[in-house]
Chains A and B, each alone.
Chain A
């Protein structure tokens, strides 16, 4: 490979979005920040597409397309013992939302498997009977966009169909109890939940 070719590849690597995150995290978006623009594949399961209010013909979608006011995102990994231990409590949290008539259409939830293939996400889903939509992120593309957080990590974002989504919750670690977590989310998201 000659010097010119090497220079061209060097420039490409340096100016690519990947290079800007490699080995140097900018940290996760915090409360008050704009949530990064991430693209997710359309869920295969019809009930998940319906839950998120996504059109059947979309190939991929962005968080702003989800029909909700609040979106809770769990960054997890099938390989993470903390996520494994916490999974039943996370399910309880999800069920407490969907069983609450006032909340079920206003708060939705998804999970993103950092570094997990589709197969690995499926193993996690079936092992822990996870009912909310889970998405693979096999090459850490989304994980890098979200500041290379450890797992489990929870984001709460206010979804805005007409502009960027805004982060109101951004924390590493467990829920500290499903009920307490829901109260905390309701309190933090109050301005976005009110009519």
Chain B
């Protein structure tokens, strides 16, 4: 019985390691990245579905302005990129990828809004390491994770999921991806979803 329990435990440990993050982070962040180790892939329950009217939110942006999702209605498609936290491995390498495909967003009349639950000073320091970002970065710090919670992507430990939403010009949710928090969603998935808006 004890042997069986040990084997079960070892099995679970190895499976947890298998599910874990295995990536290369950029040398641009030097040794500043905090690696929390493998996390539970997802830890929340969506409150919205494709086809729903998107909930609205208003959040402070790094630029000093306040941005409401509804301000883009009728004008631009919106991609929301929730990433779990600043200064963590996968997140630090996700937005720099989006940063070099601005023409793809423009082609599909879309704006990208990057959102984390970090406060503005942390976001300021973190995003400076990424170079100049063409898209607004929003802080969902206070009330803590309120925007993430509206979409159902706030995890039980207060960080958000690694989630992408596409909201069309009519304010309707057209795409949802709540990806394994330990991994980076392939770029082609997002681009394909943008192409399907046309």
Closest to B187 in A: A120
Mask, A20-35, CB within 8 Å of B = 1, is 0011000000000000
Mask, B16-42, CB within 8 Å of A = 1, is 011010111111100000000010000
Closest to B12 in A: A6
Using A7-B7, A14-B14, A19-B14 as known contacts, say yes or no to A115 and B184 having CB atoms under 8 A apart. yes
User: Can you name 16 extra interface pairs (CB under 8 A) apart from A14-B14, A127-B101, A138-B186?
Assistant: A22-B20, A23-B17, A23-B38, A78-B97, A79-B94, A79-B97, A80-B93, A120-B187, A123-B187, A124-B100, A149-B24, A150-B25, A150-B26, A151-B24, A172-B27, A173-B27
Q: Which of B166-189 contact A (CB under 8 A)?
A: 184, 186-188
A81–B26 CB distance below 8 A = yes
Stretch in A39-47, A90-98, A140-148 touching the partner: A140-148
Taking Cβ atoms with an 8 Å cutoff, the residues of A that contact B are 3, 6-7, 9-10, 13-14, 19, 22-23, 75, 77-85, 114-115, 117, 119-120, 123-124, 127, 138, 140, 143-144, 148-153, 172-173
Answer whether residue B130 sits at the interface, using C-beta atoms and an 8 A cutoff: yes
Contacts of A123 in B (CB 8 A): 100-101, 187
Closest to B93 in A: A79
Answer whether residue B50 sits at the interface, using C-beta atoms and an 8 A cutoff: no
A13–B93 CB distance below 8 A = no
B14–A120 CB distance below 8 A = no
A80–B26 CB distance below 8 A = yes
How far, in whole Å, are A78 and B94 apart by their CA atoms in the complex?
A: 10
